[in-house]
Structure formats: structure tokens, C-alpha cells
Amino acid sequence: MQKSLQNSLGLNTVALQPKFRVLAFYSTIVESDHVDFARDCISFYTKLAAAQNFVFEITTDWKKLNPENVKDYQVVMWINDFPQDEAQRKTFEDFMENGGAWMGYHVSGYNDKTTKWPWIVNFLGATFYNNNWPPLPAKLIVDDNTHPATRSLPKNYVAPITEWYGWKPNPRDNKDIKVLLTMDPSNYPLGKKDVIRGGDIPVVWTNTRYRMIYLNMGHGDMVFKSPLQNKMFSDALFWLGTAPQ
């Protein structure tokens, strides 16, 4: 009876299946600008999921980063935080090593000598070195217009206001890292209180050994103000969600 009703409406069970499933983790007890970003990020992807037929589930409960739970998802997203519990970290490592996909924004890629998680340093190919302050817009160079995440971008564009990170080691020095966007040197000096005065600063990249993308945008409530950049955000997620495992 249900199948007959679906057919009479021009529907079928295949069409009703979501294209992929995303589990997005975020935190509310973090820097207020990171909470603002999470709110906008959740709104953006919730609307995109409704329009494009994929599942976008959100949670502040990082205990859900466990083997039994994540097996039901193709993509894990970290919006404004990262796991600090050893069991959660091990779950994520196994998820990625076995073909899962990851999208991480801004502070989700932060790591320094206090992080004590060697795997994440190899995964990202980078460690935080410096930043600009206050948050500012920046002109970005698109290194690769052929990658599925960046093929809709021009050769350069001005990204909305955010806080930008510099890295040491530089992810570009890692043979497995493919840099997709880079800070244009014309931005320097960048900042007023904390100033980035120069250097090669990758902004978006992927580790080719995994299905992953890191995007350094993610601070404040202006990040989703650029249609160009928003298209990259959506293209990147579709690349992760639909790429063969």
C-alpha cells in the first residue's frame, strides 16, 4: 500500500534515501566567537541538507564519537572544537583510517605542544604557530581550481572576516598534503594587536591519504557572508559525502 502511494506521487524508495549522513560535533562552552560561528554553520548546513537530501545531525555530546555510533555516518564534522578524550581520539583515528571522511573548521585544527596527540599532527600536517588579531577579511589565492571542493572558485577572492592561523611546520612541506587555498602575500602585515608579517600560509588543504578537508575559516558571525566561499563549503562536503570509499 505504501509503495503504491509512493508510486502514485511519482516517488520511489531509492529517491527517498539520503545521499549521505553527516555527524557534526560542536561545543557551546568555548570562545563566544566560536559559538557564533557554530550557530551560523549549523544553520547553513541544515538548510543545505534539506535542499540537497542528505542527513546533517548535530551534537554537543562528544561521547557520541564512539565506534558504535559513528559507523552510521559517512562524514564527521568538527565545527568549533576537537576531542580531548583518548577513547574519542582513538575512535576518530580508526574512523579515518578505515575510509571515513572529515571536515574541520578553524579551531578544530588547532594543536600545540599541550595537545599531546601525535596522530593529529601527521593527519593535518601542521601545528599552530601564530595568528592575526583582530579578525579581518583577507585576499586568498586559489591554488587548485580542479579539485571538487574549489572548482567553483576564481583564481582569487576576498574571504570574509575571520581569525587566520599560521603554521609551523607548514602543511605544504608534507608530501601527502595538497594545498587548495593560500593567504595572498598582499595581505601582510595582517592584524593590529597580533600581526602576521609574512610567510607562506595555507588556508584550506587536504591530506591525500585520507578523505578530509581542513578549512581555516571559522571565527565569528561573518564567515558565511560570501556566496563564493559558501559554494566551496557545500562543494567540499558533497565531495566528502559522495566520494567512493
> Would you list the domain boundaries of the chain?
19-242
Model pLDDT, residue 186: 98
DSSP 194: B
How far is it, in rounded angstroms, from Cα 145 to Cα 180? 8
Question: 41-94 pLDDT, tens per residue?
Answer: 999 999 999 999 999 999 999 999 999 999 999 999 999 999 999 999 999 999
Residue whose C-alpha is closest to residue 46's, from 237, 243, 240: 237
* CATH number assigned to the domain with residue range 19-242, chosen from the 4 options 3.40.50.880, 3.40.50.720, 3.20.20.70, 2.40.160.10: 3.40.50.880
Question: 79 near 215, Cβ under 8 Å?
Answer: no
User: Residue 1 pLDDT > 60, yes or no?
Assistant: no
Helix 227-242 and helix 32-52, axial crossing angle in degrees, nearest 10: 60
Secondary structure (3-state) at 241 = helix
The percentage of residues in the chain with a pLDDT greater than 70, rounded to a whole number, is 93
Model pLDDT, residue 243: 77
Model pLDDT, residue 15: 57
DSSP 195: -
Q: What is the DSSP string of 158-172?
A: EEEEE--EEESS-GG
Tell me if the bond preceding 189 is cis, omega within 30° of 0.
Answer: yes
User: Residue 180 pLDDT > 50, yes or no?
Assistant: yes
Average pLDDT, the chain: 94
How far is it, in rounded angstroms, from Cα 50 to Cα 45? 9
Question: 77 near 96, Cβ under 8 Å?
Answer: no
Model pLDDT, residue 5: 35
Model pLDDT, residue 6: 38
Question: 144 near 204, Cβ under 8 Å?
Answer: no
State pTM to two decimals.
Answer: 0.93
Q: For residue 14, what pLDDT band results from cuts at 50, 70 and 90?
A: low
Secondary structure (3-state) at 147 = coil
Question: 132-157 pLDDT, tens per residue?
Answer: 999 999 999 999 999 999 999 999 99
User: Residue 160 pLDDT > 60, yes or no?
Assistant: yes
Q: Which three cell numbers stand for residue 89?
A: 581520539
Q: What is the DSSP string of 35-50?
A: HHHHHHHHHHHHHHHH
For 217-223, what is the mean pLDDT?
Answer: 98
How far is it, in rounded angstroms, from Cα 128 to Cα 110? 6
Buried b or exposed e, range 30-39, using 16+ CB within 10 angstroms:
eeebbbbbbe
- Residue 1: what residue type? M
Model pLDDT, residue 177: 98
For 177-205, what is the mean pLDDT?
Answer: 98
User: Residue 223 pLDDT > 80, yes or no?
Assistant: yes
User: Residue 4 pLDDT > 90, yes or no?
Assistant: no
Sheet of strand 211-215, all strands in order from the earlier edge strand to the far edge: 55-59, 21-25, 75-78, 101-105, 211-215, 202-207, 177-183, 136-142, 156-162
For 166-176, what is the mean pLDDT?
Answer: 95
Secondary structure (3-state) at 134 = coil
